[in-house]
Amino acid sequence: MRAGTSDDNMMLQVSDVFCKRLPKVELHAHLNGSLSTKTLRELANLQKSLSGSDDAVWNIQEAIIEHGQKRTLEECFQLFGIAHSLTTTPAAVYKATQDVIKEFADDGVLYLELRSTPRSVPGVMSKAQYIQAMVDAIQNSTDGQILVKLMVSLDRQQGQESASETLDAVLTAHSQNPKLIVGLDLSGDPMKGSLTDYLPSLAHARNAGLKISIHCAEIPNPDEVEKILDFHPDRLGHCTCIHPLYGGSQELWIKLLNSHIPVELCLTSNVKCGTAESYKKHHFIHLFSVKHPVVLATDDKGVFSTSLSEEYMLTADSHGLSREQLWQMALSSIDYTFASEEEKNQLKDMFLQIKQLSDVQ
Ligand code: 5GP
């Protein structure tokens, strides 16, 4: 009997098992939105045992009941508050980070860039300690299969003073851990705050050697998109409302395509928040069909009850992609990471070895 070839592989149906086994790269995951129900429960119990109160447990129960349902963007942002109420100490941030890393590793993710907005809690935790807790959790992660990097987020709703505080903390931490802390992200409620307030901090971080990713066009906002593209970040998040069919314009769309900036696409997040009408009508297909660099991502796997394997499966299902197309998409994602060239080459070797093994199975 002859061994299967890549051609045979292309003919095979994409399945859940295939997507789970596919080696994957996750480049857009927010720590507090990625917490599983199990982690939320454990953190709530930990908090209860320390404080004697069970308010947080009630909040979690409500969140779990609603888990996985469609929500407006506004409701999603309320939900982040529940996770935030549980990650208020360095120990909780450490546990949250370790749990999320393990869950991504169990899902076949070989490279993860985890992002989070450092918070200070008076008398308990500074932003620097929040970042350090994540660094420690990444360094002590026992799963040797996954390479993890940290991106620090600025929340566009928190104002310039908070952004420069975060910037100071991240630059200090970056100078101590230059290989581990790789980037700065601008996120937060797109209906609040002004991009221009944060561009100086983003430029400062870029000059200090950090890569930049900006959440872009989650709601129609042509002026802002124009400014983001002129800034030319290393990656863009979402880009939902740039195509003329989805609240953008031909001019902006062409500008995005000409920029060649890789776009992090989170289908379930966009569909569940209602910013994309359906998986089939997601702007993924417009970018994919013109070979614009894209990477599939989960955004908030806890809030949206998804996994990166599911994102690959849903994308293949809705757009008729083959196994080979998924392989190529997963492999090319490595080029869009903020890892070193050496790490990228090692990852590509690993992916290709896994591919060769699966081709002969
Ligand atoms: P954290 O940064 O606290 O670890 O993760 C949750 C935070 O990430 C949210 O409070 C929000 O600022 C940001 N975030 C998570 N998902 C999204 C999203 O889909 N869009 C935007 N703009 N921000 C998000």
Length of the chain: 361
What pLDDT score does 11 carry? 58
Sign of the dihedral through C-alpha 261, 262, 267, 273: negative
Question: Would you name the residues annotated as active-site residues?
Answer: 218
User: HSE (CB half, 13 Å, CA atoms) of 279?
Assistant: 13
pLDDT of residue 311 exceeding 60? yes
What is the position in ligand 1's atom list of the atom closest to the CA of 215?
A: 22
> Domain map of the chain by residue range?
16-35+87-357
Decide: 30 in ligand 1 pocket, CB within 6 A: yes
What pLDDT score does 51 carry? 76
User: pLDDT (tens digit, 9 = 90+) per residue, 124-138?
Assistant: 999 999 999 999 999
Decide: 155 in ligand 1 pocket, CB within 6 A: yes
Give domain 16-35+87-357's CATH superfamily. Answer: Metal-dependent hydrolases (3.20.20.140)
Centre of ligand 1 to C-alpha 321, Å, is 29
What pLDDT score does 144 carry? 76
pLDDT of residue 269 exceeding 70? yes
Q: DSSP labels for 179-221?
A: TTEEEEEEES-TTSS-GGGTHHHHHHHHHTT-EEEEEE-SS--
In the structure encoding, which two tokens stand for residue 77, read together? 């942002």
Average pLDDT over residues 54-64: 60
User: pLDDT (tens digit, 9 = 90+) per residue, 282-303?
Assistant: 999 999 999 999 999 999 999 8
What is the position in ligand 1's atom list of the atom closest to the CA of 31?
A: 4
User: pLDDT (tens digit, 9 = 90+) per residue, 189-248?
Assistant: 999 999 999 999 999 999 999 999 999 999 999 999 999 999 999 999 999 999 999 999
pLDDT of residue 97 exceeding 70? yes
β-strand partners of 114? 29, 150
Q: First CA to last CA across the chain, in angstroms?
A: 12
Q: Model-level pTM?
A: 0.94
CB atoms within 10 A of CB 320: 9
Q: Mean pLDDT lowest for which of 35-49, 103-117, 123-137, 318-332?
A: 35-49
DSSP run (H or E) holding 358: helix 341-359
